[in-house]
Amino acid sequence: MIHTTLFLSNDTSSRAVGVDRLAKLLQDESNVRLVRTSSRGAFFLEPIIERDMPDGRIVWCNVTADDLPGILAGQGGVALQSIPFLAAQTRFTFSNFGITQPLALDEYRTRDGFRGLEKALVTAPDKVIEELKIAGLRGRGGAAFPLWSKWQAALLTEEDEKFVVVNADEGDAGTYCDRMVMEGDPFRLVEGMLICAHTVGATRGYIYCRQEYPAAAGSMKAAVHIADEAGLLELDGRRFPIDIVMGAGSYVCGEETALLESLEGRRGVVRAKPPFPAVSGLYQKPTIVSNVLTVATVPSILARGGAWHASLGTDRSRGTIALQIGGRVKQPGLVEIPFGMTLRRVLEQFAGGMASGSRFKAAQVGGPLGSLFPESKLDIPICYDAFSDAGAILGHGGIVVYDDQTDMVELARHFMAFTADESCGKCTPCRIGSVRGRELLELVQAGGATTADLTLLSDLGDTMKTASLCALGGRAPYPVLTAIEHFPHEFKDRLKM
């Protein structure tokens, strides 16, 4: 007889800190039912065990084996709604997290799953695109391109085949929201792909998943199979097959045209644009390429309406943003909030300040190509326009915090070396510029550089920004130049006298 139901996350991050060991111990309890859910994203509290009590859901955090007897007895724990990190968020795309089992189709449906698809199927394609336009949804990857514009271009291009490609090559350091969607709420991604396919008339879908995400790929394969068995891939009188394709570890394949080259079986090298993929993409056919988070946001917009989505956020940054906080902070984890909150408030309210014994030095937003923000620049609103005006990018929403022990010269060298290693080699500014940039920074480290070398580094950065073929070379100088701008003494102190 089962008397107690306990909820444990099955997310990779949860398993990394021992939740599977706790589950194994609990399996020996005959009166316990274990439910493996998606993650709430509060990684600093993991392992977490939850239990429904008469007064609501109770949570035990940072659980060890010694805590299990008390949990089974219903002793201790805190109310879920009393955890500030979770209570202060506005979750829509991540509303199922910590609640549903990832591969339970009935649970997804119970929580309005496939409601967006149902509405899309009885709505004319141009009206679906109009809802996206009203919603103001911009791509949640790097370029923040209006999604409706892509869909309209693909819809208006007449071809016998069209494709939907999900960019799941989440390669930026400090980002993991795409992985969490694929592992924790995979039917949301399937639904978003089906809405897109119906709207633009696509005939096949692909999910291009990074090699380092085996659990996410496995979850997506299982979800696609379950959806297929349930008849959900029968779209407009035909089957819409979805294939999961694994990448091979190339960072530049996060760029949409390099990804398409890889999908076609060639080396991942950036293509010149135009033509853009929405007109001529995979196999020269119209192709919608969007990252996981963008596609996963679409179902809620169709279900609730574009005006609902537009009511959140700022004037030109509508909806919510998924921030992934990491580095030297007390509370790393996933945060979903409307656009507009300042970076400082995010770090104070959600990151909980610096880790014990650490002092803040800089925050980098937007992955290894993102700008560095010192303490004096933290009052910037988190939205596309404010970041653009500051010469920065939101990128995929990753925030990495550095403490006062960070060597900014070495950090700058590391980022330029990263670009040199990951460049596809298609264009000279990125291929050669990144190597020369790394060499100049190594010269600074060795004490052999002069003021003229820093000027040369700045000029090199300007050339890379304006002449590179894609964002890898175009954004590579930003962390380097902002490090020099905000921490000039660390560079000047090492110059040759």
Where would I find the H helices in 140-229?
147-156, 177-184, 186-200, 214-229
First to last CA, the chain: 80
Q: How far apart are CA 319 and CA 312, in angstroms?
A: 5
pLDDT in 10s for each residue of the chain, 497 residues: 567 999 999 999 999 999 999 999 998 887 999 999 999 999 999 999 999 988 889 999 999 999 999 999 999 999 999 999 999 999 999 999 999 999 999 999 999 999 999 999 999 999 999 999 999 999 998 778 999 999 999 999 999 999 999 999 999 988 999 999 999 999 999 999 999 999 999 999 999 999 999 999 999 999 999 999 999 999 989 999 999 999 999 999 999 999 999 999 999 999 999 999 999 999 999 999 999 999 999 999 999 999 999 999 999 999 999 999 999 999 999 999 999 999 999 999 999 999 999 999 999 999 999 999 999 999 999 999 999 999 999 999 999 999 999 999 999 999 999 999 999 999 999 999 999 999 999 999 999 999 999 999 999 999 999 999 999 999 999 999 999 999 999 999 999 87
pTM score, two decimals?
0.96
Helix/strand/coil for 438: helix
Q: Find out whether 339 and 138 touch, Cβ atoms under 8 Å.
A: no
Q: From 422, 72, 428, 87, select the one nearest 247 (Cα to Cα).
A: 422
Cβ partners under 8 Å of residue 118, min gap 6? none
Domains of the chain as residue ranges with CATH: 4-84 (3.40.30.10), 105-310 (3.40.50.11540), 320-403 (3.10.20.600), 408-492 (1.20.1440.230)
pLDDT value, residue 2? 61
Cβ partners under 8 Å of residue 179, min gap 6? 12, 170, 213, 216
Q: How far apart are CA 114 and CA 188, in angstroms?
A: 8
